[in-house]
Amino acid sequence: MLLFISLGAQAASIGYFYDGDTVKIEDNGQVFKLRITDIDAPERNQSYGQKSRRALMKLCQNTRISYQFIGTDKYQRRLGKLQCNQKDASLHMVQNGHAWFANRYSADHTLLLAQQQAQQAKLGLWQLENPMPPWKWRKNNRQAHTK
């Protein structure tokens, strides 16, 4: 079982949504970038990227959030789990077709099942003819990619 925390006495909030899997958290004077684990959302400049970002905004904007740090990535972003109104953001994004399950970095097979169900139901990005996974898009657009 994961323990979700907010470090400050005041409620933590999201100050900016970079895309569908990365946010800026403001918590009791502390400001940092959090890369949500277990998922990979389309980049802002990628097809479906703005819709993915707006879906995360709708879930988390002006709501109570909590988070758990798991580590740091090569871009010095904090990696972690995010909950908005007691909903797991990773699961929400995958269930509704707004992000891919990042099976390369995660063993959470609940998300794999959620992705399969979203694909079958043609939710979100699965409505597209051939949705390009963000890791392939980043490889093809290295200079345009700014995360």
The residues annotated as belonging to the active site are 35, 43, 77
Q: Which of 56, 142, 145 is nearest to 99 (CA)?
A: 56
**Residue spans of alpha helices (H) in the chain:** 49-60, 89-95, 109-121, 134-140
Joined together, the tokens standing for residue 68 give: 């758990």
Does residue 99 contact residue 20 with C-beta atoms inside 8 Å? Answer: yes
Pairing between β-strand 30-36 and β-strand 78-84 as defined by DSSP bridges = parallel
Rg of the chain over all Cα atoms, to the nearest angstrom: 15
- For tokens 């700014």, the residue is 146
